[in-house]
Structure 1
Amino acid sequence: MDLNTVEAVLRPATRHDLQPFRPGDAWLAGGTWLLSEPQRHLRRLIDLSSLGWPALEVGPDGLSIGATCPVATLESFEPPASWRAGSLIAACCHALWASFKIWNTATVGGNLCLALPAAPLISLAVALDASCLIWTSDGTERRLPALDLVLGPQRTALAPGDLLRRIDIPAAAFRQRSAFRQMSLTPLGRSAALLIGTRHDSGEFCLTVTASTPRPLRLAFDQVPSAEALRHGIDATIPIAAYFDDVHGAPDWRQHLTRHLAEEIRAELSA
């Protein structure tokens, strides 16, 4: 879609080139959402692709994902054999139902910052204990757990002018066992519920709930709980009024899915 209110497109080469953020500005990464509907309040776009951030960096500490990394690049990444939870990368990428054009343009950072309940790369980041490196508008930087980035549908903890630079996933998170479940109202529809379970060698069990709730939620147990304890934990954390309600699923159905998929995950990881 043509954004006919935009008067300038800035292409900074370094952080030093970033001009002060002002009303009417927007960060441009892949632009798959930004250019999909009218944005009449915009006057300037700041193109992040010109900053040349590395897409993926693997090291002893884990995986660093540049915010401008295309979804297709992340999906094609082959994690080390020792990363048992590495299969979650492809699973979450495939939960983003989109054409190859979107996959090659949409970015990981954009998926997180758009903060839609069904954004599967939010699920990946939260389930694997990712931290977000944020460039702040005052020229400094801060770190924020991925769990705390999304506050609600299209609401994040980013202040005006803040910029998501990188998502860091620790190697220890990849070494956990994991289980993935996703369900949609239609075969190729947006996720109505997406749950990820992880189990550390110490026995700790964590369940990440997304898509069925307005923001990601996480339940942690010292060991794999009983079916009754897990259901009680879910219901205590997510009352029926806390489930997301839109055309992709009613709250009572999403609650049923969440309970059902969580029990499947519990059973798989208790083996």
Structure 2
Amino acid sequence: MDLPTVSELIRTADPQHWRPGDAWLAGGTVLFSYGSETLQRLLDLTAAGWEPLVMNDDGLEIAATCTIAALYAFPDAVPPQLRTAWPALDLVRPCCDSFVASFKVWNMSTVGGNICTALPAGPMTSLTTALDGVGLVHSPDGTTRRVPVAELVTGDGRTSLAPGELLRSITLPAAALRARTAFRRLSLTDLGRSGVLLIGRTDEDGGFVLTVTAATKRPVQLRFPAVPDAAELQAGLELDPGLWHDDVHGLPAWRRDMTRRLAEEIRAELATPAAASGSAPAPGPAPAPAPAPAPKDGSL
């Protein structure tokens, strides 16, 4: 940790306390690892007391301060009847596993922090975007606004948040949680950062949604009124060449080609009736090995 210019730590969740030179502190795993030579104060959200996960008729509200460990444990706490009604909760653990991080990080890193960091490979961006998550944003002027996570993350390390704005929570609508889903992920190494992460879903009205993350600088969603044929889907993946991400975790051409390959796997899986396909994914590249699960002793 290298934050030599920070002189104050203030416990607050009120954006009106924000001033230039401040940074919001939730888990801090990225803030402390990257360091800064300009920050003057940290506004600490860890004592905000927000309920990590709240279920209601509208869906699931995830507090921005909810840790990855708490989210990973959540599906086991859902009543069986609701668990069956919300099959998209099956995405929670694969997305948490995509951190390929130790339980120590899981116990500190937060859902909101991962989204606001806006790394292309941020798996909480993948999860919440794929399920049409909507963020509740608090502003320094006392107002609030709601913005889809797909529009909140605008590029590599960039968001639509204005200075001082705070992501309070993300709501996953019940309609998306009732959807049937398929998940695919690729990395260049067994324990490497995601190079390609795709999530597909079919909604109750038959609509098909494909969400592309990690391969692109920002989330990309394709929506169809029904499961498309292969040609339609591939045509939809004709993206602006500048949108493909380029770093040591994968060249743009590889990310583009693997996106096309995995997208077709997802399309084929979701085109098959659920009773026929069962819960097993369509054949394809296995995801990178996951880290050991978060501890089950309740220590978050």
TM-score bracket for this pair, using the shorter chain length: over 0.9
Code of the residue aligned with 1:251 in structure 2: it is P
Tell me how far apart the structure 2 counterparts of residues 165 and 202 of structure 1 sit (CA, whole Å). Answer: 31
Code of the residue aligned with 2:17 in structure 1: it is P
The aligned residue for residue 256 of structure 1 is 257
Segments of structure 1 that go 5 or more residues without pairing to the other structure are none
Code of the residue aligned with 2:67 in structure 1: it is P
Tell me how far apart the structure 1 counterparts of residues 195 and 247 of structure 2 sit (CA, whole Å). Answer: 9
The aligned residue for residue 266 of structure 1 is 267
The aligned residue for residue 46 of structure 1 is 43
Deviations 1:180-227 (CA, angstroms, capped at 9, x unpaired): 000001011000000000001221101000000000000001111111
Aligned mate of 1:75, from 72, 76, 90: 72
Give the TM-score of the pair, scaled to structure 1. Answer: 0.96
3-state secondary structure, aligned to 2:32 = coil
Aligned mate of 2:59, from 54, 58, 62: 62
Cα pair 2:16 2:139 within 8 Å, conserved: no
Matched, 1:3 2:3: yes
Tell me how far apart the structure 1 counterparts of residues 187 and 7 of structure 2 sit (CA, whole Å). Answer: 40
Cα pair 1:240 1:255 within 8 Å, conserved: no
C-alpha displacement of 1:137: 1.2
C-alpha displacement of 1:2: 4.0
Cα pair 1:191 1:211 within 8 Å, conserved: yes
The aligned residue for residue 293 of structure 2 is none
Tell me how far apart the structure 1 counterparts of residues 228 and 184 of structure 2 sit (CA, whole Å). Answer: 18
3-state secondary structure, aligned to 2:228 = coil
Segments of structure 2 that go 5 or more residues without pairing to the other structure are 273-300
3-state secondary structure, aligned to 1:34 = helix
Aligned mate of 1:146, from 122, 137, 149: 149
Residue identity (%): 53
* Aligned-residue CA RMSD (Å): 1.1
The aligned residue for residue 102 of structure 1 is 105
3-state secondary structure, aligned to 1:81 = helix
Cα pair 2:60 2:171 within 8 Å, conserved: yes
Cα pair 1:240 1:252 within 8 Å, conserved: no
Code of the residue aligned with 2:205 in structure 1: it is S
The aligned residue for residue 243 of structure 1 is 244
Deviations 1:109-158 (CA, angstroms, capped at 9, x unpaired): 00000000000110111110111000011011010011100010111010
Code of the residue aligned with 1:218 in structure 2: it is Q
> Hey, which bits of structure 1, 4+ residues long, moved more than 3 A?
none
Q: Matched residue pairs, number?
A: 266
Deviations 1:16-73 (CA, angstroms, capped at 9, x unpaired): xx55321210000000001002211100000001211111111111110000000010
The aligned residue for residue 198 of structure 2 is 195
> Comparing 121-130 with 72-81, which one deviates more in the overlay?
72-81
